[in-house]
Every structure is written in structure tokens, then in C-alpha cells.
Structure 1
Amino acid sequence: MSDTQAHNGSNADTSILLVEDEQDLLELLEYNLEREGYKVRTATTGEAGLKAVRSELPDMILLDLMLPGMDGLEVCRTLKSRENTAVVPVIMLTAKGEESDIVRGLELGADDYITKPFSPRVLLARIRALLRRSVDGVIEGDDSRTIDTGQVVIDLERHEVRSSGDVVDLTATEFKLLRLLAARRGRVFTRQQIIESIHEGFAAVTDRSVDVQVVSLRRKLGDVGQQIETVRGVGYRFRD
């Protein structure tokens, strides 16, 4: 057994379903994931991917958007509409220029995306971060009464925020925005998702209003505010 395999032995119980129709990329990703100790299954079409999920529920799905037949967006929609598969984290594999598809995928419930071409090391880091949040229960984090990012502590019962130990005075909307992003660190939220979550879909709230709220929140958080990243053309996330 190699040092890498020994070091990553704890991944052996973690299964990843890779749905990708480019054979070269499929083999490269499969090799790198197995080298990290993950149990990998593959599918080259959306239909085959859904069939694989039905036979054995994976811990994570890497899903290419551009698939023959049923595309990745339809696969994501199907997965997130079913109770038993809705909780499985999904990372979308996208090509440059698919900005609108990225937004749609995130709105359908995908947890993250990575744009081709990408480094396997970057993908592995994203996978580890997302799996860690799943295990820690941070993805659903709303049940916890405190959200602690290390630099920001949000007390949901007291409706209080501390940044680097200092109390930060936020409006009700800014508090909801920070709670949404911090509870799901690393996940990208589109502006529309933010509107629906913290403004209950109120029609008068525009994308520009969300941008203004983010700027204000960053300013009030000081240096920690830079943890809130703009994902160009998509939305915002709290850096993990």
C-alpha cells in the first residue's frame, strides 16, 4: 500500500458517482479519486447516472452538465425532487460559457460547481470541503442555535453577531443574509436564491438590492467581510 493510500484510507467508505461522457476526463478523474481512497462508480449518460443512484445511493455526485440525451440539469432536477436523493451533495462539472446553466443548476439545488478545465487537486479540495460540511451538519445548519465560522459567531437565539470578538450591529436583512451564507460555507447562492430565502421572494427586491446589502454587510464585518466572495455572473458565497 502506498503512503497516499494509507493516508487516505478513511475515504474508503465514501462513495462518489461520476457522471461524465468525455472518456479521457472520466478516466483521469476516476484515477485521481481512487488514488485518494474513494470508492468510485461511473456513468456516461444521465439515464445511467440515475440508474446507478437507484441501485446504490452515493455520498456525492460529480455531474457533467453537457451529457448526451438527458442533460445534467435534468438529472439534477430529478435528484433534488426525490426525497431519498435530495440530500446527496452534487458538484456540477461545467464548461466555460455555461454561466446561465450554472445559475440554473444552483437554483435546482446543486451544491457547488467547477469549470473545465480544472486541476484535479482543486476538485479534490472542493470534494473534501463539501463532504466535511455534510458530516458536520453545516449544510442544514438551521437546526443549530449558533453558527461559528472561526472568525464570525452568529447567535441565532440572541440575534447577535460577533466578528473577531466584537459585536456587529446588523439590520434584520443583513443578519438573515449572513446566516444564510455562513451556515453553508463554500456553497454559491444566486441572487434569486438569496431573494427567495431572506426576502421570501418579494417581487420588489432586485438583484441590485442584494448587491447593496452584501456591500454593507462586508463593510460592517471589517476584514472578515472579505470572506464573502463574489462569484462573477452567479452570486455570492462565504469562503470555506
Structure 2
Amino acid sequence: MAGELVLVIDDSPTITKVVQLVLTKAGYQVATAVDGEAGLEAVRAQRPHMILLDFVMPRMNGYQFCRELVADVKLRDIPVVLMSAKGDQVGERFVKVMGIVDYITKPFSPEAITAVVQHTIGKYTAGREDEPSLVTGEDLSATDDADRTHARSGAMDKLRMQITDVVSGRIAALFALAHATREPDGAIATDATAVADAMRTALDDPSLLKMLTALDLGLFGENTPGLRGDLRVVPLAEVLQLLDVQEQSGVLTVERSGARVDIYFRRGRVDQATAEGVPDEFLLGRFVTDAELMNRADFDAFLDSRETASGTRLIGAQLVKLGYLAEADLKSCLTRQSSELIYEILRWRHGRFRFVAGLELPPSVIDAALGLDVEAVLMEGYRRVDEWHLIERAIDNFDVVFLRNEDSVAQMGRGRLTREELAVLEVVNGKNSVKDIIRKSRMGSFEVSKMLYRLLSIKLVRRRVLPVAV
């Protein structure tokens, strides 16, 4: 295997992202198309080593695509593997009628899709010449110290010149004004205090921000390899995928509007994610009580006693030390907490990220050693992002208030609802906003929004509409 090209044709963004992530990590190149027509164009332009094909798609479905493919003598030898939720029913017929080489049933695991691709390429494309290998992680992280020193010196010279120009211009204006004002009663001060005030005014926030924005701040950090960027330019999922594929170790920090999440990597796996400035739903206590390892009253009492106790032991370690949790229980809660934090920041459309390689991990992270698989986290994260897009059509902000449809609830019966649905339904009263429901139910925002969306879909709740004054 040497970076063979796999074309994925599927109209589901989740499927294409997941397959691309899995196969890229396995060493393949991946191209994507959203339907059969786009797929045919990609096949003719790139001639992939194999094709992963969805059955149900707009414009041109899988059957129509295969018919067009086999009609072209230059393309008919490219192996096709069908991806379908009706794998056994549809796949066998495609093998017989259209000559596809294999099929895989959705949903599939990363191991299953990788095995199918490896088998297909190994069997049907063994004669192709190997393509050049990809650049290694060591190549990408190699740094020329001389170039870095030169760049830092140039950046400091530029900053120095900008400050000099701004300050000298303001001081010159001060003295020009003082010279022009000759009346004793209207004299303009030009002493040290006046000059300092003029400098301070010249270096206001917009001026400093403009200077700093033009700088590459990475030049002034520690001489450790890493990367940084803007989430509006580089999506977080692509950053996580890169760190996973290159098996990087270090700390990825993601920040937005006062919230900060640190993701600790060890050889491409996530050992833990921690956060500051995030809602209470992401604190460890929620996951402890959700797992019914402690009830809320006992946990609150523990927190109260902890405030009066001395020492800086972390909450999780202290719960284990006092016998409230077993080590395995704590690890399970930390796994959920870390995963939920990553799911949340995958939704961030703006913010900054930076990764520093080779930093020594904190003792608490070393003890946690969760070893979370990035592929698995991203697969669930992509699924949630897709669900959020659906939910946000009905719940566009957390200030929305819902009412219970009591007649519909009575007709259906509460016994047919899940415990989570009941917990949310009981807090819907025409007064509580979605934000209030999240706080009072002590559930996560995703879970509450999903439950509300379900209740809304089966008409057990409705959106409160305020009367319009005329």
C-alpha cells in the first residue's frame, strides 16, 4: 500500500467525513463526491484505484452510476464496493447484475471499512506502480533555527518601527498644538506627564490590535514544534485528524470567548480533555451523578466539605481517595467528560487553536491515561453535529420557551416516554427557557435539546408564542 486513491460517493456529509478520516489514517488518499454525476466526473478526472458507492443518492443513484461506469471501456475495470443500509438485499443483486466486487452494510466500523478497502485494492489493483510516500511528521515539524531567528528579528524591527511612527506622530501633534496656542490661559502642557498621556492615547486598543494582528506570534513562543490557527479557516476536526494520523504528543488548546479547552495527546490518542470557562454541564459532577455513582445531595455535600478542607487534590482523585468512586468509575466519568468537551468544540465556528508538541503532561493527565481513539470520538462528534443542524431548525436559541400539550400527554401516557424524556417534560411549564431546563434537569445541552426536539416532533410540547401588541 502506497497512498492509493479511493473515491467515496455518498450524499451524507457524515459518511464521507468518517470514511475519509478512517482511510486517510490507514494511509490512503481519499476523494469525495456527493452524487453519481459528480462521482463520474471525479472518476474521469482522477481515475481512482477503487470506488466506495452509496446506493440512494439524488440526481444519479448507485444503480445509474454503475450502469454508466460499465458502459465506459476505460473505466469499467475500476473495482466498486457498495455501501448500503440494505447491504444483504441490495448488495447481492448488485454483485450479480452490475458486477460490483463487494458490499458493506451501514453502519460500519472503522475496522470493517478499512478491511474491505485493503482487500479490494490488494486483489484488484496489485499491478499498479506505487506512488511516492507522503511527507512524514518529522519532516513537517523540522525547524530551521537560523530562519526562525531571522524572522523574529524582522518582526521585532517592524513592530518597533510601527510603535515609533504612531507615538512620534502623536507627540509631534502635541507640540505643534502647544506652539500654535500662544495665549497663557489656553496653554497646552508639554511636560513628561503630558507626553506620557499622549503616548498612552496613541497606543489605544485598536492601534495595538492592528500591530499584533500583523505579527506571527508563534515566533515569540518557546522553540517547540507546533501549529496554530483560526477555526474559521481550519476546522477543528481537520486539526484532530492531523494529530491522530501523525501520532503527535502534546497539548492542543482551543479558545473562544473566554472558554478554553485543553486536549492532551499521547502518540495520537487523547489522554484527557480539560476546560475552563465552560458551562456547568461539562463539570465532572454531572457525569458522576448521571452514572448514578453518587446522588446529587451527596455530591453537593462533598463539594461543601471540600471547600472547607485544605489541600489542592483534584475532585476525581479525592472522590477515589474517600471511597466514593472506584478507579474504574472515575476513568469512565473522565472519558465521558473528555468526549463531551470535544463534541462541544467541534461545533465552534470561530475561535483560535494552538498545538505545542512535546510538552510534559500534568500528573493528573498521566494518571487518567484515557487513550481515547480520535476516530471514534470524531465519528460520534460528526453524528452530533448533524443532529444539532436538525435540532437548530426547531430550537434556534436557548431563550425559547415551550408549553406542554396536556391533552396529548394524557392521550399518549407518560409510561411510553423514556426517563430522560420525562425529566425534560416535567420542567416544561411555559415559563422555563431551554437554558433553564438544562440547568434544572442537570442534563447536557445536547441531551435536553434532543429530548425537546423529540417531544416537539410528537406534539407533546409546543413553542410559546408571545402576543404581539397592536
Q: TM-score normalised to the size of structure 2?
A: 0.26
Structure showing the higher helix proportion among its residues: 2
Q: TM-score normalised to the size of structure 1?
A: 0.50
Structure showing the higher strand proportion among its residues: 1
Larger radius of gyration: 2
